[in-house]
Amino acid sequence: MTSAVAPLAVAADKYLRHVSIERGLSDNTVAAYRRDLAAYLTFLDAQQIVTPERIAPADVSAFVQALRMRPDGALTASSVARMLSSVRGFHRFLIDEGLTETDAAIDTKPPKLAMRLPKAISIEQMASVLAATDGDDLAALRDKALLELLYATGARISEAVALNVDDIVEGDEIRLFGKGNKQRIVPLGSYARAAIDAYLVRARPLFSTKGTATPALFLGVRGQRVSRQNAWLIIRAAAARAHLAIEISPHTFRHSFATHLLAGGADVRVVQELLGHSSVATTQIYTLVTADTLRDMYTLAHPRAR
């Protein structure tokens, strides 16, 4: 880019502060916005466009087309859609700030995405993964507490590792902070509560002596807060010990939580609240998973189904 700071770059930096501070988006989401906008501004700079009012709808469309035809490999439809979402949010901000009078991105449509059903594992498979964390050593007690909590609450992994000890509410509930720092209270269940109690009494006090004082619920061996990456490794190791034939991730626990609740008869709006979804339409995707399962069971069991 040019040596002087371009007005677009200044506006982008202001927008990122806006979504971080005023909208309360997570650090990971803000980092994704920053990468997307950096690519967008680099594209515009190559077209010698450095001010908001010079951006035309054709420029936004050309950016999307460039993403689909990158020489180092075209982006997937979902990645293009995500980047365009970042760009459209930026253009709405430019309008709100009075930096331009027209929204150049409003008519640019994202690519159609194939519906991908959430991947859940069976109740038996989940039980085997949770059993794979059995043990009396400190790490096993922590891992059991973390995985039981993920399955009991449907928490996102970022929500789980961000938990503090004080977020455990008296009465077998836990306080989760979701997207936009939105708070929700979710029941723990007896298995998760027992696992967390064992960890708090027998493991966390010893972990906490290894590092500086921290309110974090889940600690590593050096006394630091468990990171998302560490949580991934914990889950991967448990799945390997359980001899699952499929790969699972932290989100597998969230998907399985929702799918098993709906299969057990839970109301979709209750599951929506437990997951922290802003729209029930997002939660209803899980009803398709349940319907597919019922259809498969019917086909296998009914004598006149085939």
Which sequence positions are flagged as catalytic?
156, 179, 251, 254, 277, 286
Q: Extract long-range pairs of 243-250: CB within 8 Å, 24+ residues apart.
A: 243/128, 244/121, 244/125, 244/128, 244/129, 246/121, 248/121, 248/129, 250/150, 250/156, 250/157, 250/160
Q: How many CB atoms lie within 10 A of CB 87?
A: 24
Parallel, antiparallel or unpaired: strands 173-177 and 183-187: antiparallel
- Maximum C-alpha span of the chain: 75
Q: How crowded is the C-beta side of 172, counted as CA atoms within 13 Å?
A: 10
Q: Cα 73 vs. chain centroid, distance in angstroms? A: 25
Q: How many CB atoms lie within 10 A of CB 159?
A: 24
Pull the structure tokens for residue 241: 């010990």
What is the rounded CA–CA span in Å between residue 140 and residue 40? 45
Q: 204: how many CB neighbours lie within 10 A of its CB?
A: 22
